[in-house]
């Protein structure tokens, strides 16, 4: 039963990521075509609650999606299962989320 829940969680996280990816790519194209420098982009994102929440939710969805994908790959390649596989999944999620959250706070906080 857990496997079907993880399967559905990964599919739902992929569906959640779609609008985030499109907005992110659109903003990047706009910024590049507008000739904005990295300093100008940071000047616009720092202190913005909207961008903090946007990228924070994006990082959460990506972290969940990647951790479940990592779990499947490790299981298929190594045959690892049970508590070890769950620990690896949670550890992967924690690392992905921590690194992503650090990047979000660096870009959006004053």
- What does DSSP assign to residue 109? -
What integer pLDDT is reported at residue 24 of this predicted model? Answer: 94
Give yes or no for residue 106 having a pLDDT over 60: yes
Q: Quote the radius of gyration of the chain (alpha carbons, Å).
A: 17
Domains for the chain: give ranges and CATH numbers: 2-108 (1.20.1300.10)
pTM above 0.95, yes or no: no
Give yes or no for residue 1 having a pLDDT over 60: no
Percent composition of the chain: helix, strand, coil (DSSP 3-state, to 5):
85, 0, 15
Q: Are 89 and 68 in contact (CB under 8 A)?
A: yes
What pLDDT digit, counting tens, does each position of 80-97 carry?
889 999 999 999 999 999
What integer pLDDT is reported at residue 40 of this predicted model? Answer: 87
What pLDDT digit, counting tens, does each position of 15-43 carry?
999 999 999 999 989 888 878 888 888 88
């Amino acid at each position: 039963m857990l496997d079907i829940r993880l399967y559905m969680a990964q599919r739902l996280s992929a569906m959640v990521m779609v609008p985030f990816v499109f907005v992110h790519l659109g903003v990047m194209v706009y910024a590049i075509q507008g000739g904005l420098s990295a300093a100008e982009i940071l000047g616009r994102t720092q202190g913005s609650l909207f961008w903090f929440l946007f990228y924070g939710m994006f990082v959460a969805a990506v972290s969940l999606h990647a951790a479940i994908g990592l779990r499947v790959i490790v299981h298929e390649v190594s045959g690892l299962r049970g508590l070890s596989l769950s620990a690896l999944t949670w550890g992967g999620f924690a690392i992905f989320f921590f690194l992503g959250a650090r990047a979000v706070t660096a870009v959006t906080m004053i």
